């Protein structure tokens, strides 16, 4: 059973009463227990779209920050793709200087309230944390992401956030394709140098996956909007409903519209399918479409949204990654009675974050592990009525290091479902490649760039984020956006 926010706050108060941050020893720091994240009750939250994790209280954040040993060699920093000075910001948080902590983070990362929420910290900064290593459990590492989230939220809510300054206007213009985290980071850093920046977004809302993919209950959209408003305040123009490659080609932007440089941050938005029979039946969705309907088109808000909801009772979600967890948890909130993750390996191999799996379980999502879908079965009207699955067992590890699923002969069965959400990954959209002469891509369709500068095979055209890395993470996309912006600013000198 989860403790209430008051109970958790009281526990933190006791810790603060027992230890003085100025005199506490390393041994005492290591004795402070991990501060639990207050969360909405599972039975309540499956009936709403509100954020699940409620955020630390002031006392909790101070108590958690006191767990940091201020290691001299700062191992945690090597796990952060943008190199945030983690011990420095945590020290300020422990002292109660939350705005100062936020300012330290902002020297390296533009979107701390977003990264603090969605970074897979246990594989990144927290993976390297000495406290986790000492306790032989990465789950016991200092909760770097939660502290980051708190100080960013606090600074924003108390008008102590930092607006980046912009140098005097140059006569250079830069086009940014896409408005996801790679593009946001690139746009801000290019604009800071005084260049004009215009962003082009295919959808009617800016923000990329942060807006159309990651559900409201993990990342409130008002936070993303606030960051985009900040870009507009810096003088950046955002053009929506503008598909580069259709509305205008990349060449048009360079040659006819006189942009001096272009950054492509078009993401990896092309869903993959299993290519099994039945994937064109009514009631089969890609996770992208399913989540876009709910997040971007607000299908969950049936009173105010025109987007229709597909009536689902029993939903199968194919895949075991974070996107699959998001789709399954969304299906539950959209009213499905039973939702099952269908995954061909065991729980140990699930690629989703542990926290997301735990949250999904708490919300009553079933896990049909070691099952491989073979066919989606339809009724006479073309609607989904079930999924033919085969049971698997684990064999030898494959190239990914995970044990390979081996199908068990004769184990085939049809399980009743009326909706299937396919969530087995995304690839790059080929539109820009098809409409841009000389743009080199690899065999997966990802744009090939110079690793140091993010420049593509076309002079003056740079790229970063998922369109280069394949489906990756928010912070990696941002890191690439910053790297490309640095090179663009050099290029325009
Ligand atoms: P995107 O965010 O994909 O943005 C690209 C934008 O470009 C889109 O808005 C698109 O409409 C636009 N665009 C595309 N083509 C064109 C064009 N031709 N013209 C104009 N505009 C165009 N990462 C994490 O770190 N943590 C998470 O918890 C997490 N959860 C995720 C959940 C879901 C459901 C998904 C799908 C992804 C998740 N990710 C997560 C991955 C992360 O969101 C991405 O790695 C990241 O958003 C990539 O950023 P990007 O800027 O490269 O592209
Ligand atoms: Fe950790 Fe992500 Fe913050 Fe870096 S940005 S410190 S990886 S939570
Ligand atoms: Fe603090 Fe952990 Fe980083 Fe050490 S490794 S400085 S304990 S956050």
**Does residue 88 line the site of ligand 3, with CB under 6 A?**
no
Query: Residue 205: pLDDT above 80?
Result: yes
Name the strand (E) or helix (H) holding 101. helix 98-106
Q: Is 478 left (phi over 0), alpha (psi -120 to 50) or beta?
A: alpha
Query: Residue 177: pLDDT above 90?
Result: yes
pLDDT at 399: 84
pLDDT at 180: 97
**Mean pLDDT of the residues in the chain:** 95
**Does residue 488 line the site of ligand 1, with CB under 6 A?**
no
Q: How many residues does the chain have?
A: 493
Atom of ligand 1 nearest to the CA of 246: 18
pLDDT in tens, 213-224: 999 999 999 999
pLDDT at 245: 97
Read off the pLDDT of each residue in 54-74 and give the average, rounded to a whole number. Answer: 97
For residue 6, the CA-to-ligand 3 centroid distance in Å is: 27
pLDDT at 428: 92
Give the pLDDT band of residue 299 (cuts 50, 70, 90): confident
pLDDT at 164: 81
Give the pLDDT band of residue 301 (cuts 50, 70, 90): confident
Read off the pLDDT of each residue in 64-87 and give the average, rounded to a whole number. Answer: 96
pLDDT in tens, 365-419: 999 999 999 999 999 999 999 999 999 999 998 887 888 999 999 999 999 999 9
Q: Distance between CA 82 and CA 353 in Å, rounded?
A: 20
pLDDT at 359: 95
**Does residue 269 line the site of ligand 1, with CB under 6 A?**
yes
Read off the pLDDT of each residue in 230-250 and give the average, rounded to a whole number. Answer: 96
Contact 175, 461 (CB under 8 A): no
**Does residue 474 line the site of ligand 2, with CB under 6 A?**
no
**Does residue 425 line the site of ligand 1, with CB under 6 A?**
no
Query: Residue 302: pLDDT above 90?
Result: no
For residue 468, the CA-to-ligand 1 centroid distance in Å is: 12
Q: Distance between CA 202 and CA 235 in Å, rounded?
A: 20
The proportion of the chain whose per-residue pLDDT surpasses 90, expressed as a percent, equals 90
Give the Å distances, CA to CA, from 50 to 149, 215, 300. Answer: 17, 10, 11
- Identify which of 93, 101, 108, 109 to mutate to test ligand 2's pocket (most ligand atoms within 8 A of the CB): 109
For residue 125, the CA-to-ligand 3 centroid distance in Å is: 9
**Does residue 103 line the site of ligand 1, with CB under 6 A?**
no
| Structure tokens, 97 | 């200087």
pLDDT in tens, 322-376: 999 999 999 999 999 999 999 999 999 999 998 899 999 999 999 999 999 999 9
Which of 187, 337, 213 has the alpha carbon at shortest distance from 271?
213
Give the pLDDT band of residue 303 (cuts 50, 70, 90): confident
Please list the residues that pair with 316 across neighbouring strands: 340, 420
pLDDT at 375: 98
* Cα dihedral 82, 85, 91, 97 sign: negative
Query: Residue 53: pLDDT above 90?
Result: yes
Query: Which residue's structure tokens are 């309540």?
Result: 44
**Does residue 74 line the site of ligand 3, with CB under 6 A?**
yes
Instruction: Give the 3-state secondary structure of residue 94.
Output: helix
For residue 125, the CA-to-ligand 2 centroid distance in Å is: 6
pLDDT at 161: 86
- Identify which of 208, 215, 238 to mutate to test ligand 1's pocket (most ligand atoms within 8 A of the CB): 208
**Does residue 297 line the site of ligand 3, with CB under 6 A?**
no
Within 265-364, strands assigned E span: 270-271, 284-286, 314-318, 338-342
Could you write out the DSSP letters of every residue in 366-430?
A: EEE-SEEEEEEEE-TTSBEEEEEEEEEEEEEE-TTSSEEEEEPTT--EEEE-SEEEE-S-EE--T
For residue 316, the CA-to-ligand 2 centroid distance in Å is: 33
pLDDT in tens, 105-138: 998 888 899 999 999 999 999 999 999 999 999 9
For residue 129, the CA-to-ligand 2 centroid distance in Å is: 12
pLDDT at 309: 84
pLDDT in tens, 417-449: 999 999 999 999 999 999 999 999 999 999 999
Q: Distance between CA 426 and CA 287 in Å, rounded?
A: 9
Query: Residue 1: pLDDT above 80?
Result: no
Query: Which residue's structure tokens are 């309907």?
Result: 293
């Amino acid at each position: 059973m989860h403790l209430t926010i008051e109970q958790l706050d009281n526990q933190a108060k006791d810790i603060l009463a027992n230890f003085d941050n100025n005199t506490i020893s390393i041994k005492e720091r290591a004795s402070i227990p991990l501060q639990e994240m207050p969360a909405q009750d599972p039975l309540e939250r499956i009936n709403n779209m509100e954020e699940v994790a409620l955020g630390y209280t002031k006392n909790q954040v101070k108590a958690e920050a006191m767990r940091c040993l201020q290691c001299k060699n700062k191992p945690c920093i090597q796990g952060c793709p943008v190199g945030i000075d983690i011990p420095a910001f945590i020290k300020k948080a422990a002292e109660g200087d939350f705005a100062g902590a936020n300012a330290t983070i902002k020297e390296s990362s533009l979107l701390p309230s977003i990264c603090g929420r969605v970074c897979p910290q246990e594989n990144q900064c927290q993976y390297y944390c000495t406290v986790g290593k000492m306790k032989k459990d990465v789950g016991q590492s200092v909760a770097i992401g939660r502290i980051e989230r708190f100080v960013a939220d606090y600074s924003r809510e108390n008008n102590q956030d930092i607006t980046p300054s912009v140098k005097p206007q140059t006569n250079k213009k830069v086009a940014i394709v896409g408005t996801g985290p790679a593009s946001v980071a690139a746009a801000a850093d290019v604009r800071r140098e005084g260049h004009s920046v215009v962003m082009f977004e295919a959808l009617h809302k800016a923000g990329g996956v942060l807006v159309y993919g990651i559900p409201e209950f993990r990342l409130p959209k008002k936070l993303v909007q606030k960051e985009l408003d900040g870009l507009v305040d810096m003088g950046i123009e955002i053009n929506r409903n503008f598909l580069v490659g259709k509305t205008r080609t990349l060449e048009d932007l360079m040659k006819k519209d006189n942009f001096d440089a272009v950054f492509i941050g078009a993401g990896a938005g092309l869903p993959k399918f299993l290519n099994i029979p039945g994937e064109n039946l009514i009631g089969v969705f890609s996770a992208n479409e399913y989540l876009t309907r709910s997040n971007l088109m607000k299908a969950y808000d049936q009173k105010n949204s025109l987007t229709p909801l597909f009536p689902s009772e029993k939903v199968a979600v194919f895949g075991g990654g974070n996107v699959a967890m998001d789709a399954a948890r969304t299906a539950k909130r959209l009213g499905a009675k039973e939702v099952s993750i269908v995954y061909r390996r065991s729980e140990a191999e699930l690629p989703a974050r542990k926290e997301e799996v735990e949250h999904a379980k708490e919300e009553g999502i079933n896990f049909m592990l070691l099952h491989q879908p073979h066919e989606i079965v339809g009724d006479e009207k073309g609607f989904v009525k079930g999924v033919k699955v085969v049971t698997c067992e684990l064999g030898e590890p494959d190239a990914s290091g995970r044990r390979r699923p081996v199908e068990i002969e004769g184990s085939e069965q049809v399980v009743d479902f009326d909706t299937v959400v396919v969530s087995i990954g995304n690839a790059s959209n080929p539109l820009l490649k098809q409409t841009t002469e000389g743009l080199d891509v690899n065999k997966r369709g990802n744009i090939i760039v110079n690793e140091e500068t993010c420049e593509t095979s076309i002079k003056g055209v740079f790229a970063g984020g998922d369109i280069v890395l394949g489906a990756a993470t928010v912070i990696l996309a941002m890191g690439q956006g910053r790297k490309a912006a640095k090179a663009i600013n050099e290029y325009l000198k």
